[in-house]
Chains A and B, each alone.
Chain A
């Protein structure tokens, strides 16, 4: 570990802290309807879609709107992918995407996962598919995620017979006021850093050695902006943010990481303002920050330490001015160990899934951190919206368990938590455990599941576990050691993503609706404190004990045993 590495991590933390509050203020104005500089466009869209923007939807209607909208979007995308060879904007003459892949990919982008098991966007997706479908979902899935979180927060903030806002209004306003304008600014910044943005056909360059190299082109910068802002993570190129056209410099790398966290962190601040309890929001922010810092430290330490087997054979793994040291396998030299470790943590803390290094090549513990981050439920700032609502679900759980200890029926923000609320929160927790564990178990003992493995032993197991942890958490990052382009995996991943997104979102909206039916009691000395350091410690314990313990047996057989064996001199 180097001073420069820590400075980068510290700088990132400071920037994160600085953007949180302004972003929160901005988001409040977006979602309470007071921001109006695109009013005419907004009204036009409502009229075109036949939406009554003044309708305050009951949570059931809100959830139904979200599901219908997503289903239609997914079907359209499936159709376009199957028909892309007959559609314009296909200069590379790419053929139709095969059905299993089209199903998985349409599910993947609709669910904000952007798991890309196809062999690279540049060789599979036409410009039309990338720009009209994948980019569309990049915006819409992010706006839909944020909408669900905002709806939950509204439920906590007000008493309105289960009404939690209007899905279509939240979707349109999130897109118009947040994701579109921010993406435009960000894309320009990326272009300044050297990210390409064009519609040129692929370049066939002759190298110095006389060989011919195909350089894919495309509208990368615009895609890159929403990929990070919307915590989508789907790269234009297969190498994702490791590709020099997507992420050319350390500054573009830094900017990408900030872009991943800016909206999720801002949503936390927005939450505090909407429920008029800023200190509670900062307590949540702090819990998230501690998990982020802990994860970054472990990954950075594990990667900087490198592989003890290398050291044992006399290879110098210590960092010097000319040697990055540690484990550089699968990492870009321009980012180095700190930049890669930080990026890997950030992208899995959030539900982004963009990668600038091969997580598969990380040391076992370094690779376990992204895995655990996803298994925690991606609530460390988290995906756009999904991070906040995932964290609120954990808070409700923590308040319920520990809240009894102060001798009152547990209440959160003045609202009582009773059986209905506990039921939906447990459902939320269960869906993820169910999908990840049963799907991993299926893949680990069936022939089609094992056929996809590139590595044996615990590392192979980690690859399967990572893939399902990532898809069910709608992260989309891959350990990348698994060949996922089979009917078995395409189907399993597609289903995992759909469950991980929608079977978890409905309970969240239900929670918001139930809370909106409750009257808030004023806080007294007898009220469970949700703003103190003690609360932060409690929240962290609940997150770690309740959610992580689910995966301890699996982790023990994957990265943990791999780490112990590596230290004993054995690799897989």
Chain B
């Protein structure tokens, strides 16, 4: 699915939504939304009155007709809003469906019997089946690679055109149905039954087919239903009150008052807001397994972020050479560069680059003699081959180079290098500890460089490898803090380094030397304190924590276990996106709250329009309450109903886009939104109803 931004009012979607709006008038659909169901019943009732009046040939049909018309429009507009929100998802679902075209799968009995191919439609593949896919083939279903390495085009799912590598074993073994193999071959064990595949789930999700009301939506629906009943009581008892007062109220006027009072604005837009919120998540290329998780994202108190890749760039950069006493910095730089020439890691390359930039040392071909140069600062001769590079290994935790002159240069972790030096008869200078500690405290990783010369080894100095914090992270964390969200950095680094990076990045807290079980314990601890925790993860060992977290975002590049444990999947595999997800969740709730407030605040003006209009004939003194100076009782009632219907349409863009999100504290957001939607909600209908009234009078509709 491509993440292209669709315009808010895409013509094909609008056309489809108009058709759907009418289909949705079916009572079976409307009854799911109590507020709009009342509108439907009211519309039917006034239509009945209209038919009766026509049959009896009564006068004054224009008013009843117009009220009836606008009541139907109110219901239609609400359906239109929902259909618009769904339309965007449906358009995306259509694109996805194309990827699910009927393919033939080549089933094989076992990975080593690739010749015994049986062709079978992909839709009949069950879990456990083995299939063979070769270049050009569409992978017939979700599965696990059991043999082979291949590049796969996953753009149908992720929208990312660059192919990705999928291989058996490890963290890149999961493949998704509907993606295409570009090179080599794969043997895939199918892991999902037909209809349960990732693609199926995604289609269902964006279409809203499996949409269930979220807990907050249910609670809000209860509130709105309660208010509807309250206003139903107020309007139903108005008829006896009017009888007592000697006034006869017509059904259309009563229904008009009821529809104006019940919270139709939020009632009509509620499901659209929810669908649009999910849609915004999908636009971010994130698949949320349920609306509940998006809502939970808005409530998150604590964000667990992995340091590497999320807060810092994946690779560290050499920024400084710290020589030991008696060693010149140029010499240290030279030896460091020598030891790193064959090191293709980003760290290694950055050492070569730093030496070049600082001291003009060029990467060079080796010649004999360089090793014998004067450690205290003599000119460095260019070494010539043959040389032997010693690659990094987890056991030695060091790498380096052996020069032909028996000179060995090593760089690596402090304790390992120190042991290496001692074993070769050297001593570790006291200054080493001070240097490494300083670097660690500044958030860097110390890389110690040593060499053997004339039979004894000596420590030359330390390379300062710095973790590079991604740009703009501090600002983002500040924004999160303003919203009351605490960020915790998770890292395998030692506490000193972790503290320094945490400070530089501006996170609130860190968990150093973290093992998977520490992460789990941290989540449990936070949750025990009543906080909601969000995290990202990709490895299989992240799965338990992803499942435990309230919001677990799995990376699409991650393992199947991680993807199943989380409740969202980021197709771009960008851990920083968690922050956007939190913002979308908050925006979703804010939009709901703002429109609810607006809807209820609107009632004040509607009372002022309709109550005097209903009783002014009996009690002319009530004209004093007609503060808007509306033209006539009929124009007043009609204006209120029209305003009530049109405001739904006017707010559809807001419902789909969401209210503007600002990273502020709760008090500031509340002040702002109350002003805009609360106070605004009281004032706007006064203006709107008056304008509609003037318009109705001008065009002689009343």
| A→B interface (CB under 8 Å) | 397, 400-409, 414, 417-419, 421-423, 426-427, 429-430, 433-434, 437-438, 440-442, 444-445, 458, 461, 519-522, 524-529, 532, 534, 537-538, 541, 545-546, 549-554, 556-557, 560-561, 564-565, 567-568
Q: Which of B227, B245, B669 contacts A546 (CB 8 A)?
A: B227
* A553 & B234 in contact (Cβ 8 Å cutoff): yes
* B607 & A552 in contact (Cβ 8 Å cutoff): yes
* B669 & A407 in contact (Cβ 8 Å cutoff): yes
* A419 & B215 in contact (Cβ 8 Å cutoff): yes
* B666 & A404 in contact (Cβ 8 Å cutoff): no
Q: How far is the CA of A401 from the CA of B594 in the complex (A)?
A: 8
Interface SS, A side: helix
Q: Which of B216, B241, B486, B667 contacts A554 (CB 8 A)?
A: B241
**Contact flag A529-B670 (CB < 8 Å), given A404-B589, A405-B594, A557-B242:** yes
- A427 contacts across to B, CB distance below 8 A: 226
- B622 contacts across to A, CB distance below 8 A: 556, 560-561, 564
* A434 & B233 in contact (Cβ 8 Å cutoff): yes
Q: Which of B220, B481, B596, B615 contacts A557 (CB 8 A)?
A: B615
- A461 contacts across to B, CB distance below 8 A: 241, 244-245
- Tell me whether B301 is interfacial, beta carbon within 8 Å: yes
- B532 contacts across to A, CB distance below 8 A: 521
Q: Which of A401, A519, A549, A556 contacts B530 (CB 8 A)?
A: A519
Q: How far is the CA of A532 from the CA of B668 in the complex (A)?
A: 11
Interface stretch, picked from B171-179, B187-195, B403-411, B673-681, is B673-681
Q: Which of B230, B593, B615, B621 contacts A402 (CB 8 A)?
A: B593
Interface stretch, picked from B36-44, B86-94, B323-331, B598-606, is B598-606
Nearest Cβ on chain B to A324's Cβ, whole angstroms: 28
| B→A interface (CB under 8 Å) | 215-216, 218-220, 222-223, 225-227, 229-231, 233-245, 261, 295, 298-299, 301, 481-486, 529-532, 585-587, 589-590, 592-594, 596-597, 600-601, 603-604, 607, 611-612, 615, 619, 621-622, 624-625, 661, 665-667, 669-671, 673-674, 677-678
Q: How far is the CA of A409 from the CA of B238 in the complex (A)?
A: 36
- A521 contacts across to B, CB distance below 8 A: 301, 529-532
* B240 & A426 in contact (Cβ 8 Å cutoff): no
* A406 & B240 in contact (Cβ 8 Å cutoff): no
Q: How far is the CA of A417 from the CA of B222 in the complex (A)?
A: 12
Q: How far is the CA of A19 from the CA of B505 in the complex (A)?
A: 52
* B301 & A524 in contact (Cβ 8 Å cutoff): yes
Q: How far is the CA of A564 from the CA of B604 in the complex (A)?
A: 20
Q: How far is the CA of A529 from the CA of B674 in the complex (A)?
A: 13
Nearest Cβ on chain A to B222's Cβ, whole angstroms: 5
* A401 & B299 in contact (Cβ 8 Å cutoff): no
**Contact flag A561-B619 (CB < 8 Å), given A522-B530, A526-B666:** yes
In the complex, what residue of chain B is closest to A440 when comparing beta carbons?
A: B237
- B667 contacts across to A, CB distance below 8 A: 529, 532, 534
* B531 & A522 in contact (Cβ 8 Å cutoff): yes
Nearest Cβ on chain A to B131's Cβ, whole angstroms: 44
Nearest Cβ on chain A to B672's Cβ, whole angstroms: 9
* B594 & A526 in contact (Cβ 8 Å cutoff): no
Q: How far is the CA of A403 from the CA of B227 in the complex (A)?
A: 17
Q: Which of A419, A430, A441 contacts B218 (CB 8 A)?
A: A419
Q: How far is the CA of A553 from the CA of B247 in the complex (A)?
A: 13
In the complex, what residue of chain A is closest to B587 when comparing beta carbons?
A: A407
Q: How far is the CA of A463 from the CA of B241 in the complex (A)?
A: 13
* B298 & A407 in contact (Cβ 8 Å cutoff): yes
* B233 & A438 in contact (Cβ 8 Å cutoff): yes
Q: How far is the CA of A389 from the CA of B531 in the complex (A)?
A: 27
The 8 closest A-B pairs by CB, nearest first: A526-B484, A404-B593, A426-B226, A407-B586, A524-B484, A521-B530, A564-B621, A405-B593
- B670 contacts across to A, CB distance below 8 A: 402, 405-406, 528-529, 534, 538
Q: How far is the CA of A405 from the CA of B233 in the complex (A)?
A: 28
- B231 contacts across to A, CB distance below 8 A: 549-550
Q: Which of B215, B604, B671 contacts A545 (CB 8 A)?
A: B604
Q: How far is the CA of A521 from the CA of B481 in the complex (A)?
A: 16
